[in-house]
């Protein structure tokens, strides 16, 4: 079973300064990537054994909630082999 990332808050994301990729939780494969002072959302998953990243927009223009929604929509629109074993949380 894959590791689950601890869900980060929007406030915690604002405090991140070091370059890197940070799992934000809530959606498997959703990360905030910081490079050269720019922050963007990426969704990582495998297609035919190769890792791919899909850009979901810049931070803070795309909020944490919007990024999670976009990530679930991207996962739903992909072929069956990419489907997450988890379903999105229902409210």
- Structural Rg of the chain based on CA atoms: 13
Average pLDDT over residues 36-59: 84
Higher pLDDT, 32 or 49: 32
pLDDT digits (tens, 9 = 90+) for 3-46: 666 676 777 777 777 888 888 877 888 898 988 888 898 988 87
pLDDT of residue 42: 92
Among 48, 44, 38, CA closest to 16 = 38
| H or E segment to which residue 38 belongs | strand 38-47
Q: Is the pLDDT of residue 81 over 50?
A: no
Check residue 64 and report its DSSP letter: H
Query: Model's pTM, two decimal places?
Result: 0.70
């Amino acid at each position: 079973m894959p590791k689950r990332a601890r869900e980060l808050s929007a406030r915690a994301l604002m405090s991140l300064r070091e370059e890197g990729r940070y799992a934000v939780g809530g959606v498997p494969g959703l990360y905030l990537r910081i490079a050269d002072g720019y922050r963007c959302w990426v969704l990582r998953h495998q297609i035919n054994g190769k890792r791919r990243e899909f850009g979901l927009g810049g931070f803070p223009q795309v909020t944490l909630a919007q990024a999670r929604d976009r990530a679930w929509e991207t996962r739903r629109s992909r072929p069956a082999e990419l489907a997450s074993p988890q379903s999105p949380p229902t409210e």
